[in-house]
Structure 1
Amino acid sequence: MTPAFISRTLHKAWQRKGLLSTALLPLSLPVLAATAYKRRRYQRRPDLVYHSRLPVVVVGNIYLGGTGKTPVVIALIKALQERGWRPGVISRGYGVKVGDQARAGTGNLAATEFGDEPALIARTTMVPVSVHPSRVLAIKRLQKSYPEVNIVIADDGLQHLVLGRDIEIVVQDARGIGNGRVMPAGPLREPASRLQSVDYLISNLHDDLTPPAGIASMARQLSMRLTPDTVTHLVTGASLDWASWHARHGAGPISAVAAIGQPERFFSMLRAAGITLDRACELPDHDPYETSPFTDLTSPHILITPKDAVKCERFNDPRLWVVHPVPTFSDPDWLDSMDQMLRFIAAKKQTMAAQRGKH
């Protein structure tokens, strides 16, 4: 059994309270207890929480596996840049050994040193990125190395409670909260009640899927749909808008490869955009691409995700094209709302810092 098969089986079982989920339910009790203890500890000991002098926005999820956080992070960064902000990003750096000190950089970062998602964010937005399993070490390094940064976006880290945050964004998909149980009986990292305290809840949908059932929450709830925007030839860097690429190559045999949390979401987006896939190959999320998965594919054109592209350049395969999606939000005003909130938060933090400086 492949990891992809096991993942599909579990995620299917997690959509209902069936026999497998119920059998695993006793194993979820320690998770519930640990989650509750952790939250109570930081509530009772606020001195343990690190609060940055800058506004901090956490983009995360409570559902195991990919829900589409990275497109939201990139869209948020670009929106903030357009509104005059100078963002920086912190992340765990999944899959890489960072060491005792946080690692920071900007521009064309290597996925082997920063992780695939941080490398993608850095290349796409050109903002500074700092990675470390300790988000506190990451944010301190970011602030020290890039003093021009005036807002911090935490890519993931919703459950990293030692990091103080001003705004929380949770990204889910059409699966919503699944069967509502925490792992391993269900897909949740923490109880669904956690959604009651977040600021924004974004549902990442594809095709004609409807949003999951609404959550009783004060959060501003909206949906996001991704569509192909541009396509870049990985070897030459040549770029075409989606309509032009489709007109030139869309009729021929085409394959697609994805090593993301939910590969089918990428394949469905391509099919909805008019592509008939000869092969659709799923790889485990964050696959390191130690060997080329493309050698067995005979299609003259192979479509991959931007997240995979940062790890596939070394193959120098002229058949690879990177599909860059663009998000459309059901509530386009949410970014303006966030901008206003952040300006208020930044002003308040500056005032508090000035008052502390007088004492």
Structure 2
Amino acid sequence: MNWFERGWYQQHKGTLLFLPLSGVFWLLSTLRRTLFKLGVKQSVELEKPVIVVGNITVGGTGKTPFVIWLVEHLRSKGWNPGVISRGYGGQIKTEVHLVQPQDSASFIGDEVKLIFNRTQVPIAVSSQRANAAKALIEKCHCDIIISDDGLQHYQLNRDVEIILIDGSRQLGNQFLLPAGPLREGLWRLNTSDLVIQNGQSSQASFTPHMFTTQISEPKPVVGTDSYQIFDYSATYHSVCAIGNPQRFFDSLSQKNIKIASESVFLDHYQYIQSDFGQFEQEIIMTEKDAVKCMDFAQTGWWYLPISIQPDLLFIDKLDKKLNSLR
């Protein structure tokens, strides 16, 4: 946790020095939204419905496993979904790139690679989300689009908005950036179609909806688990480069995996082989980290697969929204 995050979530007063900059951030973001609302800046309306999945805070909220769940849920309801993304941490230079199986995480971004590996869903990566969505509709015949982390991308109209909140950290000190972690104010929760929280919270919840995380058995980064057996009696070196590392550490604890040492990198960090040095223990990481290590991973490297399950009331409300879009 860096200095800013400690201020945002542990609420020491140092970050309050940045409140004047938060005022500037509010002014600029409000002006931008107003220009779209008045039609001065144009939003693109697609021929197919768009579901936006995002958050009003910076940092991890479990968005990637939620998108994976949403893809499979849409398929179960007869939809042919596609996903659009900016491909954070990637190197896409073309206007629109349709993800291919051979694309590396360093090229398309770690979250995009993980979503594609788990679902094989058509994904288009571009800074111009409307163009990415049009490509999926025209070339992949997608009949519904999921805009991954597209909540603040008002250039693209949306039919359903889903906001995710981290259950453990909630919304921090509730100030806008940079004094707090908020990209948009709390009012945004009241304008979204659905708000769902990642896990339980000891604090007052901002939503009645919650998704739980299912943690599967560790899997080897390379090879198959038919000849590699995870040893729960051993100690491991943990590695992660995600928005909320503590959630990963909590998952390891829930699985009774013993950690002797750890390495924490910035979210979307692209690993190189020398980052792993010569550790005495075997290594365990998140699945999002594993997709970035495939070129140099070794036997004895493991990742922890996770999946999520929203509550039944959330699913019911989502399905009613989906039925209205047909």
Contact 1:55 1:342 in 2 (8 A): no
Structure 1 spans left out of the alignment, 5+ residues: 1-6, 348-359
Number of residue pairs matched by the alignment: 325
Contact 1:108 1:123 in 2 (8 A): no
Three-state SS of the structure 2 residue aligned to 1:249 is coil
What residue is the counterpart of 1:193 in the other structure?
187
Looking at structure 2, the residues matched to 237 and 51 of structure 1 have their Cα atoms a distance apart, in angstroms, of: 45
Three-state SS of the structure 2 residue aligned to 1:14 is helix
Shift of residue 95, structure 1, vs aligned partner: 2.1
Which contiguous aligned blocks of 4+ residues in structure 1 show a shift greater than 4 angstroms?
none
What residue is the counterpart of 1:37 in the other structure?
31
Contact 2:83 2:121 in 1 (8 A): yes
What residue is the counterpart of 2:140 in the other structure?
146
Contact 1:79 1:335 in 2 (8 A): no
Question: More deviation in 74-83 or 228-237?
Answer: 228-237
Contact 1:106 1:127 in 2 (8 A): no
What residue is the counterpart of 1:356 in the other structure?
none
Corresponding position: 1:169 with 2:162: yes
What residue is the counterpart of 1:214 in the other structure?
205
What residue is the counterpart of 1:3 in the other structure?
none
Shift of residue 221, structure 1, vs aligned partner: 3.4
What residue is the counterpart of 2:285 in the other structure?
304
CA RMSD across the alignment? 2.1
Residues 34-84 of structure 1: CA distance to partner in whole angstroms, max 9, x if unpaired? Answer: 111111111110871111111111110111111211011111111112222
Residues 5-51 of structure 1: CA distance to partner in whole angstroms, max 9, x if unpaired? Answer: xx532111113664322211111111000111111111110871111
Contact 1:66 1:260 in 2 (8 A): yes
Taking only the aligned residue pairs, the percentage that are identical comes to 34
Looking at structure 2, the residues matched to 107 and 336 of structure 1 have their Cα atoms a distance apart, in angstroms, of: 34
Looking at structure 1, the residues matched to 226 and 182 of structure 2 have their Cα atoms a distance apart, in angstroms, of: 39
Residues 114-134 of structure 1: CA distance to partner in whole angstroms, max 9, x if unpaired? Answer: 111011101100100001112
Corresponding position: 1:28 with 2:22: yes
Residues 90-142 of structure 1: CA distance to partner in whole angstroms, max 9, x if unpaired? Answer: 00011223224210124453212211101110110010000111211211222
TM-score by length of 1: 0.84
Corresponding position: 1:338 with 2:318: yes
Q: 1:275 aligns with which of 257, 262, 286?
A: 257
Structure 2 spans left out of the alignment, 5+ residues: none
Q: Which amino acid aligns with 1:57?
A: I
Looking at structure 2, the residues matched to 61 and 50 of structure 1 have their Cα atoms a distance apart, in angstroms, of: 21
Corresponding position: 1:255 with 2:237: yes
Corresponding position: 1:224 with 2:217: no
What residue is the counterpart of 1:123 in the other structure?
117
Q: Which amino acid aligns with 2:160?
A: I
Residues 293-343 of structure 1: CA distance to partner in whole angstroms, max 9, x if unpaired? Answer: 3223211x32111111111011131111121112233x2342243133112
Looking at structure 1, the residues matched to 204 and 9 of structure 2 have their Cα atoms a distance apart, in angstroms, of: 13
Corresponding position: 1:88 with 2:82: yes
